[in-house]
Amino acid sequence: MGCAVSKKSRARSVLADPVALASETIFTVSEVEALLDLYKKLSCSITRDGLIHKEELLLALFKNHKKENLFADRIFALFDAKQNGHIDFGEFVQTLSIFHPRTPESEKIECEESRRNAFKLYDLRHTGYIEREELKEMVVALLDESDLHLSDDVVEAIVDKTFKETDANGDGRIDQEEWREFAARNPTLLRNMTLPYLVDVNLAFPSFILGTGAEDSTFTGSLI
């Protein structure tokens, strides 16, 4: 049975034109249409209003709509570009395009004017810089998401090593230029910005789980 939503809500969710979205993203028109089917399912999973709310996105990404985690919150913030508490279809497709495996790493790193890039995951206070405490909060959240529990000394060592490698001018914070240079040298840190399943979006969507990739790391080095 389909989701029963008002005509007004349904119109808002499908307002974005698939052809226009395909021209703006890495997806083809047929892939955008396939994503519309996924969008409709997700937007009805908890609140039947034709829009994706935070709980619905967390349920899709982490199989838990009550998950309280800074990493999960930051992912939702990337999708909710209009910052109005929900995700419309255009936001959904445009953000997934950034997470596509074929999206160039430069696009995941760059796009300074966009709220949808990897730097924004860590700029928690929206200051244009990544402060040391922000980085530590995100490291802890990523470890928690991966069910890894390290001592505070190890976490501090990770943060220290990252800042030593990234903060080129030594001012105690990471700006976007320093971030771009560090990301270019360490492309694996963009694993949180990639959803492998998007390659097969025209097939039956196998899963919509966002993997942190943290299980492949010992977290003995730097991390952002």
Residue 194 binned pLDDT confidence (cut-offs 50, 70, 90): confident
- Are 58 and 44 in contact, with CB atoms under 8 Å apart? no
Closest CA relative to residue 166, chosen from 147, 194, 152, 185: 185
Domain boundaries, the chain: 11-216
The pLDDT assigned to 146 comes to: 72
Tens digit of each residue's pLDDT (9 = 90 or more) over 27-64: 999 999 989 988 998 999 998 899 999 999 888 877 76
Total-model pTM: 0.68
| C-alpha to C-alpha distance for 143 and 157, rounded to whole angstroms | 14
Tens digit of each residue's pLDDT (9 = 90 or more) over 164-193: 999 999 999 999 889 888 888 877 766 666
pLDDT of 118 higher than 90: no
Tens digit of each residue's pLDDT (9 = 90 or more) over 58-117: 888 777 666 667 777 888 888 898 889 999 999 999 989 888 888 887 777 765 445 566
Q: Identify the CATH homologous superfamily for domain 11-216.
A: EF-hand (1.10.238.10)
| C-alpha to C-alpha distance for 128 and 176, rounded to whole angstroms | 7
| C-alpha to C-alpha distance for 114 and 5, rounded to whole angstroms | 31
